[in-house]
């Protein structure tokens, strides 16, 4: 164990996120936002316009569907909207895991798989759910990968991320892909809104609380979006939108300016399917935290007797150690760290570990998770600072809500505290008093359906009714 100590000390140094470093990250995030708003492709942050010009108001009525594709699972959902007073009458949803061969297959295979599951879900419609006569079903499509949106209901995939490697989709309109697959299934439904999951989460949270200005996803991957004034978006001025608000999808996963990275991060990046890309995402999101820790442990096992002298083969396997394992280990408050031991045994095949060795492993996890959480907090502070600088008092001078979603944020209490702690350090106690960081349960699913409703092909008829 003693031989592992220098590796841990080194790791702590390299992963440290003192306030000056966080300040730099927040400032760089704000600056990157401005660069991305000025022109397409001008910086690391794409700052993608959502084409959402009217957020759901609450008066929407009728049956709407949502489909959420963004990670290892996809979800389908239906919601019956009852207008101003009744709001959400009922919802139903279902989750389907995506087989690995589909994630590595062709575009048609992926969309046929989705449309067939969706079709089965639609067939179970009943009870409180009722389609208005003469209408076609409408669906909001949450698609949380980088898309070049061309209107509220079309968008071209720039590239897959988060372990997806479906061939032939980049450069294609994903709405057209889904509409075509639904048609092949004989499903009478059309896409009314294409939304990023972050945009959906923001719309969903804003439906219940008008002070929600920012939404952040921390799950398998990560992203953030916020409400921007159209006058502040130079690259949209040619559209002559006048004054008003829209949602900007930052695609902040691509950020990298000033991040404290280790050799473990660099090796993981080099061996990933998208080397050199999504560096912020690879440092702070759920898909990667466990893997970074695994790499540190593998090095420790090689260079010390941390796990005795028999090196565990399983430890050499990329992604065996996952973020939920780190989380479980960090919740272990027992004297002998029994939970840590059983994870070491079951997951990475360590037959025997001393309590001291288990402590080292928890320390390594904490180091990586602390860095991730604090950097996420710095990113959020950067967004808030950019908004505040433009509006002087409309963000930090009043109640402002940051809506959070995603499995990492939801399930990892230490990560959450590190994140909020960093925000408080950066914003200071006075401004932090006005900031509410709030989990939006299922914001994204409902949000997409709400945006489908707000952008319904029958919306004009609805207004007249």
17 and 260 Cβ atoms separated by less than 8 Å: yes
How many other β-carbons are positioned within 10 Å of the β-carbon of residue 155? 26
The Cα–Cα gap between 56 and 351 comes to 55
Query: At 106, phi and psi to the nearest 5?
Result: -100, 165
The Cα–Cα gap between 178 and 153 comes to 11
- Measured from the CB atom, the residue of 178 and 326 that comes closer to ligand ADP is 326
Binders of Mg ion among residues 5 to 24 (CB under 5 A) are none
346 is catalytic: no
Single out the segment in contact with ligand ADP by CB under 6 A; choices: 298-306, 376-384, 389-397, 406-414. Answer: 406-414
Q: Which residue out of 197, 265, 269, 405 is catalytically annotated?
A: 197
Single out the segment in contact with ligand ADP by CB under 6 A; choices: 163-171, 208-216, 219-227, 336-344. Answer: 219-227
- For residue 214, the minimal CB distance to Mg ion (Å) is 17
| Count of chain residues binding Mg ion (CB under 5 A) | 3
**323 in contact with ligand ADP (CB under 6 A):** yes
Q: Which residue out of 162, 282, 370, 386 is catalytically annotated?
A: 162
- For residue 319, the minimal CB distance to ligand ADP (Å) is 10
Binders of Mg ion among residues 361 to 420 (CB under 5 A) are none
**204 in contact with ligand ADP (CB under 6 A):** no
Q: Which of 411, 421, 434, 462 binds ligand ADP (CB under 6 A)?
A: 411
Binders of ligand ADP among residues 413 to 432 (CB under 6 A) are none
Cα 62 to Cα 52, 54, 58, 191, distances in angstroms: 20, 18, 12, 15
Q: Which of 226, 412, 422, 435 binds ligand ADP (CB under 6 A)?
A: 412
Binding mask 217-236 for Mg ion (x = CB under 5 A): --x-----------------
The Cα–Cα gap between 390 and 387 comes to 5
- Measured from the CB atom, the residue of 283 and 385 that comes closer to ligand ADP is 283
Element (H, E) at 367: helix 355-391
The Cα–Cα gap between 415 and 330 comes to 10
422: helix, coil or strand?
helix
**70 in contact with Mg ion (CB under 5 A):** yes
Residues 6+ apart with CB under 8 A from 200: 66, 68, 140, 142, 443, 444, 445, 446, 447, 448, 451
The Cα–Cα gap between 97 and 78 comes to 18
- For residue 219, the minimal CB distance to ligand ADP (Å) is 2
387: helix, coil or strand?
helix
**Bridge pairing between strands 400-405 and 212-218:** parallel
257 is catalytic: no
Binders of ligand ADP among residues 280 to 299 (CB under 6 A) are 286-287
Q: Which of 70, 155, 200, 253 binds ligand ADP (CB under 6 A)?
A: 70
- For residue 49, the minimal CB distance to ligand ADP (Å) is 23
Binders of Mg ion among residues 166 to 225 (CB under 5 A) are 197, 219
Residues 6+ apart with CB under 8 A from 207: 55, 56, 58, 446, 447, 450
- Measured from the CB atom, the residue of 145 and 226 that comes closer to Mg ion is 145
Rounded (10°) angle between helices 413-432 and 19-38:
80
Mind telling me the catalytic residues?
162, 197
Residues within the interface to Mg ion (CB under 5 A):
70, 197, 219
Residues within the interface to ligand ADP (CB under 6 A):
70-72, 219-221, 286-287, 323-324, 327, 406-408, 411-412
């Amino acid at each position: 164990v003693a031989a592992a100590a220098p590796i841990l000390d080194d790791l702590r140094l390299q992963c440290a996120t003192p306030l000056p470093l966080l300040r730099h990250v927040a400032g760089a995030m704000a600056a990157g936002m401005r660069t991305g708003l000025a022109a397409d492709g001008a910086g690391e942050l794409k700052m993608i316009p959502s084409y959402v010009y009217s957020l759901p108001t609450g008066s929407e009525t009728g049956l709407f569907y949502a489909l959420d594709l963004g990670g290892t699972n996809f979800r389908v959902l239906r919601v019956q909207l009852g207008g101003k007073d009744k709001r959400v009458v009922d919802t139903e949803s279902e989750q389907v895991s995506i087989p690995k061969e589909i994630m590595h297959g062709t575009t048609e295979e992926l969309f046929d798989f989705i449309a067939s599951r969706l079709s089965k879900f639609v067939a179970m419609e009943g009870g409180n759910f009722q389609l208005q006569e003469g209408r076609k079903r409408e669906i909001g499509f949450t698609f949380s990968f980088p898309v070049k949106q061309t209107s509220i209901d079309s968008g071209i995939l720039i590239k897959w991320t988060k372990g997806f490697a479906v061939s032939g989709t980049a450069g294609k309109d994903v709405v057209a892909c889904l509409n075509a697959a639904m048609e092949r299934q004989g499903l009478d439904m059309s896409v009314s809104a294409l939304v990023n999951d972050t945009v959906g989460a923001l719309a969903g949270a804003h439906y219940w609380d008008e002070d929600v200005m920012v939404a952040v996803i921390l799950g398998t991957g990560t992203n953030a979006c916020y409400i921007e004034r159209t006058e502040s978006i130079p690259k949209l001025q040619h559209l002559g939108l006048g004054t008003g608000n829209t949602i900007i999808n930052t695609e902040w996963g691509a950020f990298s300016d000033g991040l404290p990275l280790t050799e473990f991060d660099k090796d993981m990046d080099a061996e990933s399917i998208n080397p050199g890309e999504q560096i912020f995402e690879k440092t702070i999101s759920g898909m990667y935290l466990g893997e970074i820790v695994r790499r540190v442990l593998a090095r420790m096992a090689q260079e010390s007797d941390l796990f005795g002298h028999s090196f565990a083969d399983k430890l050499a396997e990329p992604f065996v150690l996952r973020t939920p394992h780190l989380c479980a280990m960090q919740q272990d408050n027992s004297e002998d760290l029994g939970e840590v031991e059983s994870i070491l045994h079951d997951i990475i095949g360590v037959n025997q570990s001393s309590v001291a060795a288990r402590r080292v492993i928890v320390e390594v996890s904490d180091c990586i998770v602390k860095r991730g959480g604090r950097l996420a907090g710095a990113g959020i502070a950067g967004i808030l600072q950019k908004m505040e600088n433009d509006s002087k008092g409309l963000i930090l001078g009043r109640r402002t809500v940051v809506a959070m979603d995603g499995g990492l944020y939801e399930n990892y209490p230490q990560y959450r505290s590190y994140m909020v702690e960093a925000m408080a350090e950066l914003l200071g106690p006075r401004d932090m008093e006005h900031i509410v960081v709030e989990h939006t349960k299922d914001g994204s699913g409902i949000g997409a359906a709400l945006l489908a409703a707000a952008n319904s092909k029958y919306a004009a008829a609805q207004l007249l009714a």
